[in-house]
Structure 1
Amino acid sequence: MQLNDKVIVITGASSGIGALAAQMLSREGATVVLAARSADKLQAVGRGMMGPYHVVEMDVASDASVAAGFAEIYKRYGRVDVLVNNAGYGKFTALDETPLQDYSEMMNVNYMGIVRCTKEVLPAMKAAGRGRIVNVASIAGKIGTAKSTAYTATKHAVIGFSSALRQELSGSGITVSTINPGPIDTPFFQIADPDGHYVNNVKWFMMKPERVAGAVVKAVRTGKTEMNLPWVAGAGAKLYQLFPAAVGRITSGMLNKK
């Protein structure tokens, strides 16, 4: 896909991967719609864009907010060529220390947010016979670790949703991609790991956000089905799928850093 003049919507675009991917896509000539809850932060991101952009204040956890946001986008542009579902957050706590409300709220944002936004763009994409949907999941959606039961479950759901939707849209001209990164040096950990314990343990392994944002741009451009980052994490996920008990025993000490 040539990105020049394409209308690309990015959720969770106020910081981190979303903001960087937006700026990269803008440099390639795309018209980028920045969507998140904070209009002020989105405007700050927009000021660093090279090309045209539009800010939409949107809470992906709200049916009404998502519907209103996409109504505004379609009124302004008449189409969405690419949807990047990037909004999400995590909290790393043990099951017995995690309130049920945290499970509900995390699933509502990380998974149902993707469902809401995808449902808004799919009818028009089907009518046009083309489109791209890029869902930012996590390698946690393939390998679970201690103290991430809520977060891991949401990312398993995103990967499962994406796989099923990809089959559903076969032959439609619409591609569905998943980006599955390991830990990234972004503001994500301000909520997920407020005391910095996990970050300190995996600092050597953490990726620069530019690398993951670049993978998002590549998926937008190519429609690649799945990208696991870094490669060693992707290889570990494949081994885990083949030999879950053995790999789980071997890696439990290595992975349980929270």
Structure 2
Amino acid sequence: MKKNLVTLTDKVVFITGASTGLGEQIAYEAAKKGAVVILSARRADLLLHVKATCEKYSGKKAYAFPMDVSDPEQVKQVITEIYQTVGVVDVLVNNAGFGHFEEALTFDMDIAERMFRVNVLGLMYVTQLVAVEMAERHQGHIINIASQAGKMATPKSSIYSASKFAVIGYSNALRLELKPLNIFVTTVNPGPIETNFFGIADESGTYLEKVGNYVLDAEIVAGRIVALMGTARRELNMPALLEVAGKFYMLFPRIGDYLAGNLFNNK
């Protein structure tokens, strides 16, 4: 497999949504590999804790920039500051996002708009600004955290799935556009991960218990993501059961609808 980066040592890895959950674990795994880690999220207090831990793992200075990806002016300001204070970005991980499980007919559309501004438009704002600089150097790797929900939608995930379908579609076209510039684009499609994501998404508090057989460990997922940094890997799908189900869904959509509405309907 073609390598863009030989090693992560001293490479700059910029992670959005890095204050908790999967983003936090990606930051730790990258720091353990010797990367210079840049962290962003809305919660400055949590970022400082992650920053200190990254510095302990890497023995290098890490950076924390509070940022709301849904605010394009704030994104521009922060990324300009990153270039001025840290330098170029070798790997961008677009991890910022949130979900909310509710039926489409009763979904609060203010939440839907916010979700698209964070999950989709925010990812696009950050990507465009970072990719322009990568294009000048003809080198870089963009990793977009999507979801198995963007492969196979299930009841009560209509809005969240729509946002992740958008991320996958954007990533697929972006990959083709940036390939001649030697910039890799990888889409990561995890199933449910045991993080605080579900504290917001699942008001019932029972979803993770219902899907316990294929709940992922954030540290393991983060390790897989960091291991593919600098490679031309197109997608990472986890767990294997949902990867197979997603392919089955595409090949046999009627049966896929049955599975999505019954076997995988746990919200």
TM-score, structure 2 length as denominator?
Answer: 0.94
Are 2:140 and 2:230, in contact at CA under 8 Å, matched by a contact in 1? no
Please identify, of 42-51 and 2-11, the stretch whose mean Cα deviation from structure 2 is larger.
42-51
Are 2:187 and 2:236, in contact at CA under 8 Å, matched by a contact in 1? yes
CA distance in 2, matches of 1:250, 1:237: 10
1:59 aligned residue: 68
Counterpart amino acid of residue 34 in structure 1: L
2:133 aligned residue: 124
Counterpart amino acid of residue 34 in structure 2: G
- Does 2:23 correspond to 1:18? yes
CA distance in 1, matches of 2:18, 2:133: 23
Unmatched segments (≥5 aa) in structure 1? none
CA distance in 1, matches of 2:260, 2:133: 45
- Does 2:32 correspond to 1:27? yes
Q: CA deviation at 1:253?
A: 1.1
Q: Percent identity?
A: 41
| Equivalent residue runs for 1:29-48 within 5 Å | 29-48=34-53
Q: CA deviation at 1:77?
A: 2.2
Counterpart amino acid of residue 206 in structure 1: V
Q: CA deviation at 1:251?
A: 4.4
1:73 aligned residue: 82
Cα gap change, 1:250 to 1:186, in 2 (>3 Å): closer
The number of residues matched between the two structures is: 258
Q: CA deviation at 1:224?
A: 1.1
Q: CA deviation at 1:195?
A: 2.4
CA distance in 2, matches of 1:180, 1:27: 23
Are 2:154 and 2:260, in contact at CA under 8 Å, matched by a contact in 1? no
Select the residue among 135, 142, 166 that pairs with 1:133: 142
- Does 2:235 correspond to 1:226? yes
| Per-residue deviation, residues 220-242 of structure 1 (Å, max 9, x unmatched) | 14231101000111111111111
Counterpart amino acid of residue 209 in structure 2: N
Are 1:3 and 1:25, in contact at CA under 8 Å, matched by a contact in 2? yes
RMSD across aligned positions (CA): 1.1
2:178 aligned residue: 169
- Does 2:93 correspond to 1:97? no
| Per-residue deviation, residues 117-156 of structure 1 (Å, max 9, x unmatched) | 0011111101101000000000000000000111000000
TM-score, structure 1 length as denominator?
Answer: 0.97
CA distance in 2, matches of 1:200, 1:64: 40
CA distance in 2, matches of 1:21, 1:105: 25
CA distance in 2, matches of 1:86, 1:162: 13
CA distance in 2, matches of 1:221, 1:203: 32
1:112 aligned residue: 121
Counterpart amino acid of residue 40 in structure 2: A
CA distance in 2, matches of 1:255, 1:239: 13
| Per-residue deviation, residues 96-137 of structure 1 (Å, max 9, x unmatched) | 111111211101100111100001111110110100000000
CA distance in 1, matches of 2:73, 2:259: 46
2:194 aligned residue: 185
Are 2:153 and 2:260, in contact at CA under 8 Å, matched by a contact in 1? no
1:207 aligned residue: 216
CA distance in 1, matches of 2:52, 2:228: 25
Are 1:179 and 1:215, in contact at CA under 8 Å, matched by a contact in 2? no
Q: CA deviation at 1:247?
A: 2.2
